[in-house]
Amino acid sequence: MSHTPFIIGAYVVALLGFGGLLVASLLARRRIKRELGHRGLERR
């Protein structure tokens, strides 16, 4: 029973978990910054 599928699986899990969180966080930051922009409150 070769182990490679489990190894690949582990790294895919890491990619989905960490990558997914990173993308979600960046998108959330952009959305909030745009909303602040609409209200004319964004930073200099």
Partner 1 sequence: MASLHVLANPARFRRFSQKVLPVLSGATALVLAVGLYLALVESPPDYQQGETVRIMFIHVPSAWLAMAGYALLAGLGAALLVWRHPLAALMARAAAPVGAVFAAVCLLTGSLWGRPMWGTYWVWDARLTSMLLLFFLYLGHIALSRAYDDAERGDRAAAILALVGVINLPVIKFSVDWWNTLHQPASVMKLGGPSIHPAILTPLMVMAAALLLLFVVLVMVRTETEIDRRRLDAAERAQ
Please state the closest distance from residue 44 (CB atom) to partner 1, in A.
10
User: CA–CA separation, 44 vs 33, rounded Å?
Assistant: 12
Q: Are 33 and 42 in contact (CB under 8 A)?
A: yes
Under the criterion CB under 8 A, does residue 23 sit at the interface with partner 1?
no
Please state the closest distance from residue 12 (CB atom) to partner 1, in A.
9
Binding site for partner 1 (CB under 8 A): 1-4, 6-7, 9-11, 13-14, 17-18, 21-22, 25-26, 28-29, 32-33, 35-36, 39, 41, 43
